[in-house]
Structure 1
């Protein structure tokens, strides 16, 4: 077991720990939210909810969760689903590697566990895309195993309870909070204990506008009692995302179909369809794939660059559209839109391109930047 005193953390005596568990669980029993994944012990459904809830708000997740399980109700269904199906079900949630890893994990379960969800922490943690937090959440909630689920919410609460002077954003410090939870977790109700701490950290002890005076465990909180709530948790500020400028090309043909391109790269938004995007720094003689960043930026004529790369003669329109912004974790896309009508030419064979009518857009997975581009386009057109 980790020596927590080495890290400046002194844990409570057993009687105080028991009192803490009771205060937290009594509050949870009286105040827990009625969420669809809390009405089941199915580890597959709990897993889906936990992956969706990473980086995403609860109210956003609920309709995605219900739709996903309706279309892919079992591990085997997920394992054999077409990529475009799972991307469409995940469309708009972002962080798309999550659902790709889920499918790989489902395939693992079919191959290694006969399509059943494994029942030990070690086996759960062996699945693709499942880290210590998710493994602990599934193990405790679905199987009543006393395994901690340590996320940002939990670390925030623990930092204040024990005045932990270690940055919660540093991955190496996670072991400190894991060690604390190994001692604190209720062995009889581990799943409820984990969820209670998560709820407490996401609401009353939220990172913005916390209400510590409403906390059911304020009597246990060293930061509350010592007036140091503003200091904890310790966390260095995130780096600002790097801005990258793109030109979005909204190209129609004479049948009023729009040109869409599937991103074939293994990079950001792989497998999604979008209006063609050109980085404004793309070198003209360099084949710049969708969403790829040129290494040596210059300032080409993006319209000519489009013609060179896509083989189309285009009648460019002069209409102005509101620019689009989309922030990823490390990048900020700034997209200007240009509309054109293709009058001649043939599409290159080395790109996956399609002319698609608006009524068929629903069949193609669109990431959030594409959705924003289409909304901007429609907003201008609808003003006429």
Structure 2
């Protein structure tokens, strides 16, 4: 227990000394904002201490050592810092940690054709449903992101499970047919509230812009939509609570989701992008069983062996819902962002309702040494993907 002369007595917030401040730079990326040492004169009677804490932006104001009096006058006259500042926003995710040049091009794809054996679509024949599920988009909402990009979140229901699956859509030209279809007895306000509108919502708007003849009114100017010249980039992403929310370093799921969103939000992504977010945790075995598998991994099993020991398939996921959601979004040809060539046939559907024209390699920025994280667990996870699940990772992009 610290004594009465301990530095923590005069430092109830635990702010480090200037001599030890550099230690805080080693905190994980989700510790934001970082703490700051107080100047020696901030607690003195000569220079009244400002009411600051770790979230204050006053330390960002440049100070002048040549004229302290004028500095205090400037500080007093300067308006308080805005709450909309980096110190108050959520920390950046690993995949977005490094700014990217606006001139960056879309990643190249490898042409694939599942109709021929040598089409680059993997060796496995996935079990496909005879008919696709019925899906309906029940609500759509605009989501402004911390990176400045806007996307539209679509929430889907279906006739095979009770889960709410999602489509994250980049690009105003990609729309849901089931959402836009008129419904009996609904008003224009009803349509706008569930997201079936054109253009942007704003206070006082009264027309959705989609009913017959309403899109040409002054209240709803016609929406300017870019015209794509090819299929969109699509990522089929399965839910991973541990990797996306709990900062797990056992897998790269969170970084792959970040990278997919980054690529789809680039200015060069004129064809738009779609992340189909399926609620099939743990490759389809659920979160509880997945956590049991983690314990088996700590006992020496790899991710495939752990699933098998729990009497589950190595991969219990299915992609019929993804196919149906892509069709509802009007997409019959896509560029698939994946390292798993066996996923191509599974996404295309039983009768090739959706065609994958290119497979685009998923290479998170961390693999290029531009951010993210490294761990023994994730390296073993990727090794198992390559050796036992047929994933085609470009090992030349991995850090040494």
- TM band (smaller chain): under 0.3
Give 1 or 2: higher helix fraction. Answer: 1
* TM-score computed with the length of structure 2 as normaliser: 0.23
RCO higher in 1 or 2 (8 Å CA, sep ≥ 6)? Answer: 2
* TM-score computed with the length of structure 1 as normaliser: 0.23
